[in-house]
Structure 1
């Protein structure tokens, strides 16, 4: 076996191999060289695999591209992802993946490199769920590289996938607390309506900030989600997913709250005249422009402090909305549609534990429809 040990370079005792393929390219005999094997056995195994791949016509010339260069090309192909998901991926690339392993050539990236990368994320104190999502991005990128024959195999498949030991406990408010909270905060900020809509509709923050008056049918008591506002304060057509572009039924009290808020907005628009930036938004600045997520966060934090409420995120209001519906016995499919989940299974995974008596109720309910006497 033509494998060799590199003993010339000080401190480098790794093995390597080289052989001629039998092909002539540009008048030169083609040869393949691979280095960096820790043991002779590893080098011999890789040599056999490489020779076998050449014989089958499956050999892929190792790319010299760095992993970070490939990642930048790969992320541009992910046009099917929602804008917020793309922003999250980009954040993971910039903040964690590229600084740690982006400098490694794609063809030389190893399972060991990825394992060390995951360990570094743990050392940073990142949550297990975040580490799992970051690994998923790396894995997806390498899967694409393998599919497109840029690399021979996805080395991330050899890495034990990060596990999330326990789902974060959902903290939700009971109906009495919700009523008290809304009453105590109603006059505290112009952005109270955003909190109200989150509780009463289960909409995402970006969906609430993108809601227009033209998206609301006051007679039919419905609203339609057709655009969002992102973290850069940009108005974007569409929603997170196709299922997110949905119609949501509104309660009579929600309609009244929206009418009161609209009257307030109209007064501001008239007072400013031509200086008003008319985007037709329900939640807007005093000048009519889109509201930043940071502004909503500041108001939300002040509301929690004012009411001494349990600390939950603005997004958790979606969970409160879902829980209130579950307590009313609303069908899980209806809840899923209101939340804009891509499938009912996502809704069940998130809220199924809140319905421990569903099977028991179903079993007992059979007695009301089956009248056969058993004794």
Structure 2
């Protein structure tokens, strides 16, 4: 046997088929794979298949259950962070295995995927983002498997993929935000994290990873080059390549950072060699990386104490964007400041904060027309 062309198939008509030499239930075992563009490609894949059968490395999807299959995929997944891998593993253990882990890979179909989505929504009562992430794990695994020709088709393509409703995040007005920042100043060692978020729009992990060496006081800039994870691991780099960036900072933030640095230096002198030399701006009293949980506790206490409208700490990033829009900062500059991958993403995320852009444009045209006519006369 060898490579053949299916005349009824227009796209990628070539396939291979051969007998393995073994017999199961009185029948000769045969291996077959479709979907090749050329005869040469089919023959090469057949040769590779035979080699893997000979050395025992060939994977037979018919005999593998999806739970073990996706676990092996996760284990071999490279170029992802430890946090992402841990998220994959949790999704497999908590949601994927109980719902579809027992199904053979070769039998997995679109109905199984639909049932999996329903299971997460109705039985596990997961939120939209959790459902989307777990589904994406399954979808990515199966897409990778199609590329490797382990399976012919990804059943996720046959279902309506979970979507996330974009929610409008609450923000504070400038007069309230700055008054709150002034009232809470120096009320907690972690207050500086609040002020950095308000004045830069940095992500929480970026704030926790900020070092004194990343700040140029004279130039009034800071550079984001590392983050702190939820497990207090200091990690080089940032969320994406575009997230590694420099941010111009205001004079008021420079003054607040200098004031905070005095306190940090006093703690270092007091503890001596017991102080952890991580160079972190936001840190514990021993110099260690602070946790987001500590920041959140401080934040929740202050919201209650000063009877502030409840917003999440992360919403200070959205509040910062509202400030920039209010003072007419160009969208491209806002996108770069936030570390977004594109202006389109910034517009999609914060477009609801721009309700007056159309009317401003129309008013601007009226002004331009009036000025132009005056000059012409």
**TM-score class, shorter:** 0.7 to 0.9
The question of whether the paired residues in 2 share the 8 Å contact of 1:227 and 1:239 is answered with yes
User: In structure 2, how many angstroms separate the alpha carbons of the residues matched to 1:367 and 1:27?
Assistant: 83
After superposition, the Cα gap between the structure-2 partners of 1:116 and 1:283, relative to the gap in structure 1 and judged at 3 Å, is: same
After superposition, the Cα gap between the structure-2 partners of 1:222 and 1:177, relative to the gap in structure 1 and judged at 3 Å, is: same
SS at match of 1:26: strand
User: In structure 2, how many angstroms separate the alpha carbons of the residues matched to 1:113 and 1:336?
Assistant: 40
How many residue pairs align between the two structures? 337
Matched, 1:126 2:126: yes
SS at match of 2:61: coil
1:170 corresponds to which residue?
169
The question of whether the paired residues in 1 share the 8 Å contact of 2:220 and 2:249 is answered with yes
Unaligned runs of 5+ in 2: 1-15, 50-59
Deviation for aligned residue 1:174: 0.5
1:263 corresponds to which residue?
262
User: In structure 1, how many angstroms separate the alpha carbons of the residues matched to 2:351 and 2:337?
Assistant: 16
User: In structure 2, how many angstroms separate the alpha carbons of the residues matched to 1:75 and 1:52?
Assistant: 26
The question of whether the paired residues in 1 share the 8 Å contact of 2:171 and 2:319 is answered with yes
1:94 corresponds to which residue?
93
Please give the per-residue CA displacement for 1:51-104, whole angstroms capped at 9, x wherever unaligned.
9879x9699953423323332333345444455544433432333223322232
1:154 corresponds to which residue?
154
User: In structure 2, how many angstroms separate the alpha carbons of the residues matched to 1:322 and 1:148?
Assistant: 43
2:28 corresponds to which residue?
30
Matched, 1:214 2:213: yes
Matched, 1:318 2:317: yes
Please give the per-residue CA displacement for 1:22-68, whole angstroms capped at 9, x wherever unaligned.
954336453469xxxxxxxxxxxxxxxx89879x9699953423323
User: In structure 1, how many angstroms separate the alpha carbons of the residues matched to 2:246 and 2:279?
Assistant: 18
SS at match of 1:351: helix
The question of whether the paired residues in 2 share the 8 Å contact of 1:82 and 1:240 is answered with no
1:138 corresponds to which residue?
138
Matched, 1:242 2:249: no
1:347 corresponds to which residue?
346
Unaligned runs of 5+ in 1: 1-20, 34-49
User: In structure 2, how many angstroms separate the alpha carbons of the residues matched to 1:335 and 1:84?
Assistant: 28
Is the deviation greater in 177-186 or in 193-202?
177-186
User: In structure 1, how many angstroms separate the alpha carbons of the residues matched to 2:201 and 2:309?
Assistant: 19
TM-score with structure 2 setting the length: 0.81
